[in-house]
A and B are shown apart, each in its own frame.
Chain A
Amino acid sequence: MTTTDTGGSGSLSSPYLDRIRTMRHVRNGKERIIEAILFVAAFCAVAVTVAIVAILLYEASTFFEHVSLVEFLTGTEWTPLFERARYGMLPLLVGTVVTSAIAFLVAGPLGFLIAMYLSEFAPPKLAEVLKPFLELLAGVPTIVYGYFALLFVTPLLQKLIPGLPGFNMLSAGLVMGLMIVPYVASIAEDAMRAVPMALREGSYAMGATRFQTAMWVVLPASFSGVMAAFVLGISRAVGETMIVAIAAGQQPNFTFDPREPAATITAYIVQVAMGDLPHGSIGYQSIFAVGLVLVVITLFFNLIGQMLRRRIREVY
């Protein structure tokens, strides 16, 4: 701007302007390269998903060249590593369903109660002390929970239920439930906290107690969020590996009786991975086939959970 009133703008500004222009050019180029690098990093998330699906589909497709889909989905015998191999995955599926159901029976009510207590009842100071403990509980490695299930909970249960085998789905499910409690509680609590204060104040002003407010005002308003917590908790239980691999045994067993040992989908994958199966054998491919089923189940639950979670945000 100072150049214009001297009159000699052309001679003075052009070398400066050129330099600034080239500087800006270099700068913009650099900026664009950086943006591209950052984009590639972000796109990795998509690449990982695609890679997971591709690998599972690829290995499973060779598996399904040997095994009919009907046998896989309806057969009640799973013995891919035996001489007389059978490829019916229902025993694994039932094992997964039974352990996850037990886990949910523990984690659902407990998680809900904890969420309601922390969000509606607890004095804020106390909640601040208790919450980190729940976070720590969520941080305990699952292998430690497995130890706990096998060598603490199972002996305890054996005293209550005579004749309970050393490996059983009950103990694995119970401990898995305890593991998921913090997860369910924190999602449900988030949902309850998102309910506007004005709703609670309105309820209190009408003379409602805390319990009445929590039950008939906060819960209906956060219902889909609480459901999301349950659904995502189930998804966690279905995908959990070490607790069931350690405490529920690794033998496929087509039974709904939680006192019996049984393998889940995840436990079977661990069992096969532990033995050194040759790459490309049908046993090797079978873990990708059941892995695909596992991904489909958890993805289904996760999508429902995410949808429910998003719904609470849209209402207010």
Chain B
Amino acid sequence: MAETQGPRLRTIIARNHRWDLIIGTIGLLATTVGVLVLMLLFVDLVIDGWQRLTPDFFLNFPSRRPEEAGILSAWVGSALVMVVTAFTAVPLGVAAAIYLEEYAPKNWITELIEINVTNLAAVPSIIYGLLALGLFVYILGLGHSILTAGLTLGLMILPIVIVATREALRAIPVAIREAAYALGATRWQVVSDHLVPYASGGIYTGVIIGLSRAIGETAPVITIGALTFIAFLPPIPFTGDPPAGPFDWLFSPFTVLPIQMFNWLSRPQTAFHVNAAATGIVIIVATLLMNGIAIWLRSRIRSKLKW
């Protein structure tokens, strides 16, 4: 019996191993598709747009003549919007996360908040644009301003900051909290003196990832009506005549990098497409850099922190 079964068994085993190899190879190929697409994207952009990446490109305003057009108003706008976004999302997100992780009692209100945070993370970004258009632009009368855009993107990345902060807080051992409580510290003293400092690495990571999402986000900013020709910079505080107030820039019309790119991309002339590619390089370098920093920061925290 063994003589007849042996070879059959061996062919079955060989076949199974072959399948294993085939599926493993397909899996590896599928995974490298991700890497390949990323490289293809980048190479395509660089081939199309690198010749426009001169200092003038960063110092010129958009123009009707593609070879003179630049992204000065766009990158300044992006930077200022990011400032507002960070000032919205960081305090709100970190505070919300601290509440949910350290304070919240187990009841239906907490449950409701948790469900909402999860769902907000999955709401399409353009819906935040509609919210901003109805609420910030018209009901609150903030207009098509830097403030509106910053608040919108801030709300959009709020779930990212909350989730990252909660994960960082959860990673801190209970013993740290117990030690502080044993010395008579109040809950807020425990949070502000121990938990937040220890969690700061994880919080930074979450904030950077959130901002990298916000800087490339186009749809909500278009929806609030920012797609206009902007050939000026927001007022610098205390300059000009009459002198601008310290917060006048918040209410200034603006444009951001992805919108400038979309603007150029929607034109039929290929010369503008080259500008779009160059802007794309700037955006992708900014986001990849931010993501890279976040990934590096996270791995460093993981390897350095041993509780």
Contacts and interface: CB of A to CB of B under 8 A. Distances in A.
Given A55-B134, A139-B212, A241 B38 contact: no
A144 B280 contact: yes
A302 B31 contact: no
Interface in A213-265: 214, 232, 235-236, 238-242, 245-246
A169 interface: no
A103 interface: no
B69 interface: no
A209 interface: yes
Interface stretch (A6-14, A83-91, A127-135): A127-135
With most chain A CB atoms within 10 A of its CB, the pick from B224, B280, B292 is B280
A30 B189 CA distance: 11
Most chain B Cβ neighbours within 10 Å, of A137, A185, A246 = A137
B258 interface: yes
B266 A51 contact: no
A274 B288 CA distance: 28
Contacts of B33: 110, 181
Contacts of A137: 34-35, 37-38
14 contacts: A35-B99, A38-B99, A45-B113, A46-B112, A55-B131, A55-B134, A113-B27, A117-B24, A137-B37, A139-B213, A141-B287, A143-B261, A238-B124, A295-B127
Contacts of A92: none
A295 B128 CA distance: 11
Nearest to A303: B119
Contacts of B219: 142, 241-242, 245, 266, 269-270
B31 A45 contact: no
B287 A140 contact: yes
B119 A49 contact: yes
A56 B99 CA distance: 29
A130 B209 CA distance: 19
Contacts of B227: 273-274
A133 B117 CA distance: 27
B123 A295 contact: yes
B283 A144 contact: yes
B188 A270 contact: no
A58 interface: yes
Interface stretch (B12-20, B173-181, B236-244): B12-20
Contact of B217 (A44, A113, A117, A141): A141
A121 B223 contact: no
A266 B126 CA distance: 7
B31 A273 contact: no
Given A45-B117, A269-B130, A276 B100 contact: no
A71 interface: no
A48 B120 contact: yes
Interface residues of A, number: 87
B223 A273 contact: yes
A148 interface: yes
Contacts of B130: 52, 55-56, 269, 287-288, 291
A274 B222 contact: yes
Given A52-B127, A238-B124, A144 B41 contact: yes
Among all A-B residue pairs, the 8 with the closest Cβ atoms: A141-B216, A239-B124, A117-B27, A41-B95, A55-B134, A38-B99, A241-B219, A113-B30
A182 interface: yes
Contacts of A238: 124
Contacts of B186: 27, 31
A42 B113 contact: yes
Given A114-B31, A279-B138, A37 B95 contact: yes
Contacts of A116: 23, 27
Interface in B121-143: 122-131, 133-135, 138
Nearest to A277: B225
A41 B188 contact: no
A152 B128 CA distance: 30
B92 A44 contact: yes
Contacts of A148: 40-41, 44-45
A223 to B, nearest CB: 18
A303 B128 CA distance: 19
Given A56-B134, A58-B134, A143-B262, 6 more contacts: A114-B31, A135-B295, A139-B290, A210-B23, A246-B262, A287-B130
A82 interface: no
A32 to B, nearest CB: 10
Given A37-B95, A42-B99, A114-B34, A273 B129 contact: yes
